[in-house]
Amino acid sequence: MNRRLITETAVAAAAAAILGMTFFSQHPNRTFDRFRSADKLGFWLPNWRFFAPEPAQNDFHLLHRTLDIDENESLWQDTYTVTPRKASHFVWFPDRRTDKGLFDAVSEVLPSLQKGQEFITAQPAYRSLESFVRHRLDSGGRPLVGFQFMIVSSTGYEYLLAADPDTAPDPEEILISPFIPLNTQEAAA
Partner 1 sequence: LARADLLKGVFAPINIGREDTLRTMERLSAGTHLVASAEYLARPANTQPGSFGDWEIVRERYKMLPAWRRNILDFVSRPLVTRTLHAGRILAATALLLPTDNRLRAIANGYLAASSAALYPRHNLGTDGSDQVSFQTSAVAFVARTTTNERIRDAAIWYVALQDALAYAVSGWVKLFGPSWRTGTAVPGVMRTVTYGNKHIWRIFKDRPRLAQIAGHGMLAFEGLFPLVFLARGRLTRPFIAAAVGFHSFIAGSMGLGRFLTAFGSMLPAVAYVTNRRPKSKAVPIAAGAAIGTALLAGAVDAIARNARIRKLRTQRGSLTTTAGNQLYYDRTRGLSGVPVLILDHGMLSTPQHFSWLTENLPTIDALTYWRAGYGPSVSATGEYSVEEAANDLSDLIDQLPEDIGPTFLCGHSLGGLISRRAAELTKRPIAGVIYLDSSHPGQLVISEHQRRGAAGFDHALTGVPTSLVLGWGWLLRRPQWLKDLPERVQQVTLDQYRNARMWAAGAKEWKAADRMFRRPRNSQLDTIDVPALVITAENTLRADETQDRLHQDLADSHPGQAHRVVIRDADHDSILTNRDHATTTAAAIGAFMREVVNA
Q: Does 189 bind partner 1 (CB under 8 A)?
A: no
Q: Does 50 bind partner 1 (CB under 8 A)?
A: yes
Number of residues forming the site for partner 1 (CB under 8 A): 91
In whole angstroms, the minimum distance from the beta carbon of 69 to partner 1 comes to 22
Q: Give the Cα separation of 22 and 37 in Å (integer).
A: 12
Q: Which of 63, 86, 77 is nearest to 140 (CA)?
A: 77
Amino acid, res. 77: Q
Q: Does 7 bind partner 1 (CB under 8 A)?
A: yes
Q: Does 32 bind partner 1 (CB under 8 A)?
A: yes
Neighbours of 80 (CB within 10 A): 16
Beta bridge mates, 152: 61, 173
Q: SS3 of 66, please?
A: strand
Site for partner 1 in 77-106 (CB under 8 A): 82-87, 89-105
Q: Residue 27 region, left (φ>0) first, then alpha (ψ -120 to 50), else beta?
A: beta
Q: Does 163 bind partner 1 (CB under 8 A)?
A: no
Site for partner 1 in 129-148 (CB under 8 A): 131-132, 134-136
**C-beta of 47 vs 139, nearer to partner 1:** 47
**C-beta of 97 vs 140, nearer to partner 1:** 97
In whole angstroms, the minimum distance from the beta carbon of 49 to partner 1 comes to 5
Neighbours of 130 (CB within 10 A): 17
**C-beta of 129 vs 145, nearer to partner 1:** 129
